[in-house]
């Protein structure tokens, strides 16, 4: 639909969307071997959980969510998922 150049993104960043797709839970994509491994085994679930926690921490730090009292108020409570 849109090229990476048109969106102002680099090709590796756009290619990582495939990784996001594989690591995101989706009820429509549960038949592939990758999906079965990542979401159907304890090792796969650990990989997915660790990936998203790491990415979340990086993004929160990059955007300064923990640097001020007001920033900490904006941090969502993720409960069991986070």
Q: Average pLDDT, whole number, for the chain?
A: 74
pLDDT digits (tens, 9 = 90+) for 28-42: 766 788 888 888 899
pLDDT at 79: 60
pLDDT at 31: 77
Q: Compute the CA torsion angle 53, 65, 77, 13 (nearest 10 deg).
A: -40
pTM above 0.75, yes or no: no
pLDDT digits (tens, 9 = 90+) for 46-58: 998 888 888 888 8
Q: Identify whether the C-beta of residue 17 lies closer than 8 Å to the C-beta of residue 23.
A: no
pLDDT at 43: 96
């Amino acid at each position: 639909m849109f090229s990476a150049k048109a969106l102002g993104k680099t090709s590796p960043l756009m290619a990582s969307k495939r990784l996001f797709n594989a690591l995101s839970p989706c009820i429509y994509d549960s038949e592939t071997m990758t999906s079965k491994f990542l979401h159907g085994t304890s090792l796969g679930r650990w990989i997915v959980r660790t990936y998203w926690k790491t990415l979340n921490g990086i993004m929160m730090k990059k955007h300064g969510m923990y640097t001020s009292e007001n920033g900490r108020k904006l941090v969502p409570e993720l409960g069991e998922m986070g």
